[in-house]
Amino acid sequence: MHKRFLIVAAIALFLLPTLATAAHYSDFYVIPVAAKTPGVNGTNWMSDIAIQNFQVASLTVELVFIESGDNAQDNIYPLGESVTIQGGGSVLLTDVLKDYRGRTSAIGAILIGSSDGRAFAVTSRAYSMSPSGDTVGQTVVPVRDFLENSLGTTVNAMATAYIPGLISNGRFRTNLGFVAGTTSTGINIEFTLKRADGVAVGRREFFVGPAEFKHLQFSTNAITTTGFDIAGAEVRILTGSGAVIPYASVIDNTTADAVFVLGTFPPNTALAKTATSVFREIFDRYTN
């Protein structure tokens, strides 16, 4: 009996960190990447968003899109009409960027929030569809807390996000990306790639100007031309004030099967809650 108790206790202790860091529902989320665009090797990527209203009464959500690209001017737009979900019900927004602003191609990040501050659940999927209608893709998880150093504190200055499981060889390719927003000073963001033995094989800095919001996605080839069977990325806010959500997609070159990897932060990193985030501020500006 004593031995069995110890085993159960050990399992409970093992599970505690997972439970403590489990995702929480919110009235506002950021979907780090969504697309309607052709890709390499004949892929054709698009995104669906599923929303579940666990409230008793109907709930209305609105969506705002941050367009990808280095030009961070005039790159934020409301995404279609508001969406109402019946109490206890769900909706599926298929190919959510289809015909976005009359374009045949779009990629960026989506901000989604309720119009009255009530919470809901959401998930999204990015996938490629073949001419026959078959699909293969990845879940893109929504984010509600962000690495941010614009809250009047320096506790998370130079804090690092880690993106594991990256591969760049004949079988797999990796895209890195981020969505970031700033206050009045702008921020400098650094991506560092480290191979299996911990040696850095490339670094690249990105600047997001004052009061800008930027989304970028790029191949690891933009950081290093060296291939690797396994590597990890480190992402830091070097200077300035703002928030960043880094991520990666690892794609099978043969099947187009993909894995989405969200950047993870150390436990002592100060995280901005959604109510005070620069992402929430820009969402409110474009929906109120």
Residues of the chain with CATH 2.60.290.11: 146-271
**Of 40, 35, 75, 83, which Cα lies nearest the Cα of 180?**
75
Fold for domain 28-144+280-287? Hypothetical Protein Tm1070; Chain: A (2.60.290)
The one-letter amino acid at 210: P
pLDDT in tens, 106-144: 999 999 999 999 999 999 999 988 777 888 899 999 998
Say how far apart CA 201 and CA 195 lie, in whole Å: 7
pTM of this structure:
0.87
Place of tokens 């033995």: 197
What token pair was written down for 162?
């880690």
CATH number, domain 146-271: 2.60.290.11
Q: List the pLDDT tens digit at each of the 288 positions of the chain.
A: 444 433 333 333 333 333 334 457 889 999 999 999 988 878 889 999 999 999 999 999 999 999 999 887 899 999 999 999 999 999 999 999 998 999 989 999 999 999 999 999 999 999 988 777 888 899 999 998 777 665 444 344 456 889 999 999 999 999 999 999 988 888 899 999 999 999 999 999 999 999 999 999 999 999 999 999 999 999 988 888 888 999 999 999 998 899 999 998 765 445 555 545 788 888 999 997
Say how far apart CA 288 and CA 167 lie, in whole Å: 42
